[in-house]
Amino acid sequence: MTITTRPASTPLNIDGVVVSPDHYINGERVAAEQTFALYSPIDQRLLGQVACGSSEQVDMAITAAAAAFPHWSALSAEERQRYLNRFADEIGKRADDFCVLESNDAGVLLSRMRHGVVPRAMQNIRYFAEHALQLQNRTLETPQALHRIRHDPAGVVAIITPWNAPLMLTTWKLGPALAAGNTVVVKPPEWAPLTCSLLADAADAAGLPAGVLNIVQGEGASTGNHLISDPRLARISFTGSVPTARHIAQVAGGNLVPCSLELGGKSPFIVLDDADLDNAAATAALMYRNAGQVCLAGTRLLVDEKVVDTFVGLLRGYVEKLQVGDPRDESTEVGPIIHPRQIERVQGFVDRAREQGAQILWGGAAHHAGAQYFQPTLVTGVEQHAEIVQSEVFGPVLTLQTFSAVEEAITLANDSDYGLGGICYGATERATAVAEHIHTGFIWVNSFGIRDLAAPFGGCKRSGIGREGGEWSFEFFCDIKDVVVPRQPFRASFSHR
């Protein structure tokens, strides 16, 4: 296969970290005739011009991945694990660079990157490489036969990731896709592509064979659409918005390409009257982190009317201590909104709620930290059918509703088109019983954010299709095959009985 490589673009220098703005195809950097401007949400400064993938370059990437598939898929799980462990090592060597890049182009807290995201990115690669070993030599014994259950790699996989957690979510998908023996084309988010570009350098340094990992940057409407339309894809894994997922599913359906879709959330945060109110309030304040740009956040506060005043007072105390500002400052707890269009969206939700009679208990407007910063906001006096209750805001905005009985809390929690996650605070046994009645993919009891890579992750209703994590990731990224070996000699019979 021949790839024509245009002269490499000038590398970007982001706070002292050098990163390529070009695609990564078949083990080489590939420049583009078209580029798009990338701005930092911190201060709106231009970070540089980034390659925008054409249909030709998407085709090159898929062709490279298809050519690399026979060799990569033929390797044993142990051989792929050695490659992937080196990949994780190389991510670790660049830990500080990943932190700087994602803070600058996505506005993610530097402290969160350093202590949470980068270690998790390395774990994503290592865990799934190890888990792939457990899928070998699986058998099912029946009186008639021995069934050898195989997890065969599916082929070329397209991975499309969102801007709120590009490094973590890319590696979360890459780990099982590559460990299973697939080859991959990644389309990073156009608002935050830089850590994916640095991932290419880590993969290259780890010696990943050319074509196993390809990264094509660009806008969803052009580059992304060229990618999902290609019939050579075996799988599409997407995390993002519901409208985009609908389009992907429609296009992929035409080619009968299976999709995994992890979408938005509007998760309930239930506080029962026997809850540890201080702990519940402290956890609720965490919903403002990453400027509320977290699909898992419990943004609908549902509080027992008997304790609501106490709870709101405690929550206010925690919110008043939150530091809003530059995410590169280790003391910052709430950073910027990713893009001017997104901050307009957030402000629009709040303004329309106010016009419809809602009360803003705090926040509700831009923050003095800068043009793309928004005050942590709490909206109350809202009807269950209100837009701000039913639609995902994806900003530092929570709504507050009360209930008088547990049954009412369950009804309010389930009255949503979304069903990603949830939180319930109360006496453990009682809160657990409530949690079991909430129609979501997962729900935390008296806690938040506890995750294990072996556990299933995904949503119900409009929050997505499929599950990721552990066995569930491999069920998606593999073709499951049953090799049936009879216990007794088999003779064909044409008798009709």
Q: 115 with 231, same domain?
A: yes
The CATH number of the domain holding residue 48 is 3.40.605.10
In a domain, 55, yes or no: yes
Judge whether residue 3 has pLDDT over 60: no
- DSSP H or E segment with residue 104: helix 95-106
Q: 220 with 285, same domain?
A: no
Q: 43 with 98, same domain?
A: yes
Residue 9 pLDDT grade (very low, low, confident, very high; cuts 50, 70, 90): confident
In a domain, 497, yes or no: no
Nearest to 431 by CA among 419, 445, 444, 441: 445
Q: Is 262 a catalytic residue?
A: yes
Region at 406 (left for phi over 0; alpha for psi -120 to 50; beta for the rest): alpha
d(CA 264, CA 421): 10
Q: 198 with 249, same domain?
A: yes
Q: 67 with 186, same domain?
A: yes
d(CA 126, CA 178): 11
In a domain, 3, yes or no: no
In a domain, 458, yes or no: no
Q: What pLDDT was estimated at residue 496?
A: 58
The CATH number of the domain holding residue 427 is 3.40.309.10
SS3 content of the chain, % helix, strand, coil (to 5): 40, 20, 40
- What's the CA angle centered on 72, arms 68 and 77, to 5 degrees? 165
d(CA 124, CA 128): 6
Q: 179 with 302, same domain?
A: no
Q: For 10-35, how does the pLDDT look when each residue is reduced to its tens digit (9 = 90+)?
A: 999 999 999 999 999 999 999 999 99
Among candidate residues 90, 102, 190, 262, the one labeled active-site is 262
In a domain, 126, yes or no: yes
Q: 182 with 76, same domain?
A: yes
Q: 258 with 279, same domain?
A: no
- What's the CA angle centered on 277, arms 276 and 280, to 5 degrees? 90
Residue carrying the six token digits 């673009």: 9
262, β-bridge pairs: 239, 464
Q: For 195-206, how does the pLDDT look when each residue is reduced to its tens digit (9 = 90+)?
A: 999 999 999 999
Buried b (16+ CB within 10 A) or exposed e, 292-310: bbbbbbbbbbbbbeebbee
Q: 243 with 328, same domain?
A: no
Q: 275 with 255, same domain?
A: no
How buried is residue 274: exposed, middle or buried, by Cβ count under 10 Å (0-12/13-18/19+)? middle
Q: Are 29 and 64 in contact (CB under 8 A)?
A: no
Which amino acid belongs to residue 393? V
Half-sphere exposure for 123 (CA within 13 Å, toward CB): 13
d(CA 79, CA 138): 19
Q: What pLDDT was estimated at residue 497?
A: 53
Q: Are 174 and 300 in contact (CB under 8 A)?
A: no
Q: For 139-190, how does the pLDDT look when each residue is reduced to its tens digit (9 = 90+)?
A: 999 999 999 999 999 999 999 999 999 999 999 999 999 999 999 999 999 9
Buried b (16+ CB within 10 A) or exposed e, 135-152: beeeeeeeeebeeeeebe
In a domain, 454, yes or no: no
Pairing of strands 138-141, 145-153: antiparallel
In a domain, 278, yes or no: yes
Lowest-pLDDT choice from 7-11, 92-96, 192-196: 7-11
The residue segments making up the domain with residue 36 are 12-263+463-483
366, β-bridge pairs: 374
d(CA 489, CA 474): 33
Residue 222 pLDDT grade (very low, low, confident, very high; cuts 50, 70, 90): very high
Q: 253 with 323, same domain?
A: no
Half-sphere exposure for 241 (CA within 13 Å, toward CB): 12
Q: What pLDDT was estimated at residue 206?
A: 98
In a domain, 209, yes or no: yes
The count of domains in the chain is 2
Q: 402 with 472, same domain?
A: no
